[in-house]
Amino acid sequence: MQSENRFFDDLAKLVNGAAGTVAGVTREFESNARERAKEWIGGLEFVSREEFDAVKALAAAAREEVELLKARIDALEGKGGAVKSAD
């Protein structure tokens, strides 16, 4: 009877050891996969949110200025519309 218990004890230790090893390998794989993904994404030329927002604001300001200038040109050419100041 004790030999059966010892067999199951050894089997349980073996299974626990294998589960721990699999968990460790899984964590190592995930860590390496994340690192590789960061390297790959870092190699691409993405911009940060702050850079994007800054350029977006510049583009909006440029569009607004273009509209003001178009209105001034139309007014100067006599096509109607009021002359708006760019200030």
Q: Dmax over Cα atoms in the chain, in whole Å? A: 109
Region of residue 10 (phi > 0: left; psi between -120 and 50: alpha; otherwise: beta): alpha
**Domain ranges across the chain:** 1-46, 47-87
Q: How confident is the model at residue 79 (pLDDT cuts 50, 70, 90)?
A: confident
Model pTM? 0.43
Q: Helix, strand, coil proportions of the chain in percent (round to 5)?
A: 80, 0, 20
Mean pLDDT of the region 1-11? 74
